[in-house]
A and B are shown apart, each in its own frame.
Chain A
């Protein structure tokens, strides 16, 4: 298989791993088998996948409260993520973080974040560190359309632009900040237009077209590595589930069933599978095989999580300060 085809199949697998992981979470949450809050990424998989495919292993990302997809796309192990969501000691944060706070510095994941927009200054600081240390890493900073109205957005883009830092700012515009539609919260329709306020590059892509996202992220990463500074990349997408699991019928207070169904018809994973079949790059058996492998991976992750011990209660007092 040539590298380009290999990459495409890898991206299909990544999207499917995110989808199946989260579908399993829906089921687990409905049975109250896992504690805490869940903000699911289902429907938005192409964005994290396309961006992270353009990154190298030692590049950084910052993530959001809706962060499972970013973590998986940046190389997170599903088993350790699952264990974290089960509150087990084998989880990425040893049970101290949960769904909203998965991080792993070895993978370059500087943390999911429960505060909207708060990853943006941290990403900028990682960019500053790259510049001062003289490496050619880049930072991909994920945030939603809601975050673009936080002060942190403005402060960060201004400083990153001023200092030409190697940061890709990826706005995952899923069109709702919890229940408030973008046209009720934001004075412009296309967020990437704010690039002009900072004198930086910016563009908008179909966030459900994984190849379009990948190519835009590659351009942005190349510019960043060349010292040309940050890019504001807007990916238009849509979240299928509620803001959080448990939103239930309240989801229809701010959007219609028809709207959701319309977006489901444009499922990014199905779109990509059909495109790859049309290109005759792969046959259906390739996808069937990946489906099976992903299904097994999820089942193993559940077993791993369920078999893992809970932390001792006194572990709550450990790990606060570095020695």
Chain B
């Protein structure tokens, strides 16, 4: 199969959906001739022009609000928020408006809105450009959250998000944009709520998503040399999330480690841990563990940033410790 980058996979998804449906358009800061900060791909603007690849002022709250207004009146917008950190500026329109309008107005209105953003840092961008805030949005009923780890998943999930009649938050990882991977040429839509087992194993279930999937896979290679076999489950979407896939795996392994880059406290790992403790307790032969970012703002210096974010070595240590319990 051909291999393309994460960024190209996203552009392909947008291009195909914009060709497929003239109601689809993208709006946000520097999305036009500049080709978006992270993707650096002007192809969309070259093909579809200013109207449908719409540069906006630096007004995050209005970017989301305008996209929402367009979504409930016949369009299918993709609002681009450059960094998830900037979503803090748009929280009213995301949380009080987009997430609520369907339910609050009686359940008839459709909100075909995608908010596309990036997260994760690892590029010395410090505290306001490096966060992983995905779990904020899983705490708000009415939103869906997609957070893929591979180009193929990114393309299939973004296409599904654009065709969804609900507000979807779609998070790419800033470090994954140039990562290449196989992506099918034929049209593929990936349904929400379906985890993907990225590596099979019998000893420890490692549930993760986004960039940490790759760290877990690297750890899996190393651990195999020591005859420890981890199963790596990539959630791909956090709302809805695939509880069944995790329970099924834990039934086999008896051990669960949850890994995410987001700070540990109140991270999505807590939700998974609570659920498995309640519904999979009889499968467990060791306490559930969480490995997340340390509970501080992301620091600038690479020495410091590397220290606070999980990596393959920390995953290896955690798994070895669990197996020895």
Contact = CB atoms under 8 A, between A and B. Distances in A.
A7 to B, nearest CB: 27
A120 B69 CA distance: 9
B69 A118 contact: no
Q: Give the contact-size bracket for chain B.
A: 35 or more
A188 interface: no
Contacts of B56: 159
Contacts of A323: 165
7 contacts: A111-B104, A123-B69, A126-B70, A129-B75, A132-B52, A156-B65, A320-B141
Given A125-B70, A129-B73, A322-B110, 18 more contacts: A104-B105, A110-B69, A111-B101, A113-B97, A115-B96, A121-B66, A121-B68, A122-B68, A122-B69, A122-B97, A123-B69, A125-B73, A128-B70, A132-B25, A152-B62, A155-B65, A322-B102, A322-B111
Contact of A156 (B62, B96, B101, B106): B62
Contacts of A322: 102, 110-111, 165-166
A151 B57 CA distance: 13
Contact of B105 (A93, A129, A130): A93
Given A152-B62, A321-B142, A322-B165, A125 B67 contact: yes
A103 interface: yes
A311 to B, nearest CB: 10
Interface of A: 60, 62, 91-94, 96-97, 101, 103-105, 110-111, 113-115, 118, 120-130, 132-133, 151-152, 155-156, 158-159, 162, 318-323
A294 B165 CA distance: 40
B66 A125 contact: yes
Contacts of A319: 102-103, 106-108
Given A121-B62, A155-B62, A322-B165, A126 B102 contact: no
B207 to A, nearest CB: 24
Contacts of B71: 125
A293 B164 CA distance: 46
A123 B62 CA distance: 10
B101 A159 contact: no
Contact of A105 (B64, B107, B109, B144): B109
B93 interface: yes
Interface of B: 25, 51-52, 56-57, 59, 61-62, 64-75, 77, 92-93, 96-97, 101-111, 141-142, 144, 165-166
Nearest to A60: B73
A323 B163 CA distance: 11
Contacts, number: 141
B108 to A, nearest CB: 7
Contacts of B144: 321
Contacts of A321: 102, 142, 144, 166
Nearest to A100: B104
Contacts of B62: 121, 124, 152, 155-156, 158-159
Contacts of B96: 114-115, 118
Given A120-B65, A128-B66, A97 B57 contact: no
B69 A152 contact: no
A286 B102 CA distance: 42
Contacts of A62: 69
Nearest to A91: B106
B65 A115 contact: no
A97 B70 contact: no
Nearest to A121: B65
B246 to A, nearest CB: 22
B93 A92 contact: no
Contacts of B102: 319-322
B165 A129 contact: no
Nearest to A101: B104
Contacts of A91: 106
A97 B67 contact: no
A104 B107 CA distance: 11
A110 B108 CA distance: 12
Interface centre among B52, B62, B93, B101 (most CB of A within 10 A): B62
B57 A159 contact: yes
Contact of B97 (A105, A115, A130): A115
Contacts of B166: 321-322
A118 B104 contact: no
Contacts of B52: 132
Contacts of A320: 102-103, 107, 141-142
Nearest to A120: B65
Contacts of A318: 107
Given A118-B92, A132-B75, A155-B57, A92 B69 contact: no
B203 to A, nearest CB: 37
Contact of A96 (B51, B72, B103): B103
Contacts of B109: 103, 105
B72 A110 contact: yes
